[in-house]
Chains A and B, each alone.
Chain A
Amino acid sequence: DAGVTQSPTHLIKTRGQQVTLRCSPKSGHDTVSWYQQALGQGPQFIFQYYEEEERQRGNFPDRFSGHQFPNYSSELNVNALLLGDSALYLCASSKWWGQVYTGELFFGEGSRLTVL
């Protein structure tokens, strides 16, 4: 049973560019959340997708956008990249909404983005 898979694992971009990160949730899961983990910091919630809609959002600017596809996979897009966007971007999946509270939230290994 494949867990949460993310791609690419590493990528380098320059300021002003745009990036797309991808996530395939764990089998049987239909809810995807994205977190940003800066070096030496804890993950910060970006947004969550369920039924192809953004259900809730953290304190991130509109440059951060996402999408969920009918097969439950998800993309995170970041426009006009800044140096401060350099971080590990984590995808987490769960079966339906509310699974943070039950512990049934599983993280992928992340995509490490470096902005030069």
Chain B
Amino acid sequence: QQQVKQSPQSLIVQKGGISIINCAYENTAFDYFPWYQQFPGKGPALLIAIRPDVSEKKEGRFTISFNKSAKQFSLHIMDSQPGDSATYFCAAATHGIDKLIFGTGTRLQVFP
């Protein structure tokens, strides 16, 4: 019940295309859903996050869509750029429990 399932494992997108990564969870106590971006040799960095009181959050080219009833959330990267090539992790946390539960990651490659 503590797992966060992420798909796909890898994704290849052409420059200018839309990248979509999906995550699902079981634990209804989760109330914070961040996405982290990790470049090779670097630690994860927070990209964007959402709380379950909203269904969508947009920051620039990055959008999180959240479906509370389905217990699913997704990351959409619009106008994907080669610089977006990285591994993306969804995660979840519960207020009062100060730790992140990460998905297994999606390796995104954007080709020019």
Within the complex, the shortest CB–CB distance from B88 to chain A, in Å, comes to: 10
A43/B98 contact (C-beta < 8 A), A4-B43, A105-B46 known: no
Segment among B13-21, B62-70, B72-80, B100-108 that sits at the interface with chain A: B100-108
- Counting residue pairs across A and B whose Cβ atoms lie within 8 Å, the total is 62
- A107 to chain B: closest residue by CB: B43
The answer to whether B29 has its CB under 8 Å from any CB of chain A is: no
A31→B99 CA distance, assembly (Å) = 12
Q: Which of B6, B89, B100, B105 contacts A100 (CB under 8 A)?
A: B100
The answer to whether B61 has its CB under 8 Å from any CB of chain A is: no
- Total interface residues on B, CB under 8 Å, equals 25
Complex contacts, A103 vs chain B, CB 8 Å: 34, 46, 49
Determine chain B's interface SS by DSSP, over half rule. Answer: strand
Chain A interface size band reads 20 to 34
A103→B95 CA distance, assembly (Å) = 12
Q: B32, A42: Cβ atoms under 8 Å? A: no
Complex contacts, B102 vs chain A, CB 8 Å: 42-44
A107→B44 CA distance, assembly (Å) = 6
A90→B44 CA distance, assembly (Å) = 9
Question: Which A47-62 residues sit within 8 Å CB-CB of chain B?
Answer: 48, 55-56, 58
Q: B98, A98: Cβ atoms under 8 Å? A: yes
The answer to whether B54 has its CB under 8 Å from any CB of chain A is: no
Q: A108, B43: Cβ atoms under 8 Å? A: yes
1/0 per residue A61-74: CB within 8 Å of B? 00000000000000
- A96 to chain B: closest residue by CB: B98
- A31 to chain B: closest residue by CB: B98
Binding site for A on B (CB under 8 A): 4, 6, 32, 34, 41-46, 49, 89, 91, 93, 95-105
Given contacts A43-B44, A92-B43, A105-B46, 12 further A-B contacts (CB under 8 A): A41-B104, A42-B91, A42-B105, A43-B100, A43-B102, A45-B99, A48-B98, A56-B97, A105-B100, A107-B44, A108-B43, A109-B41
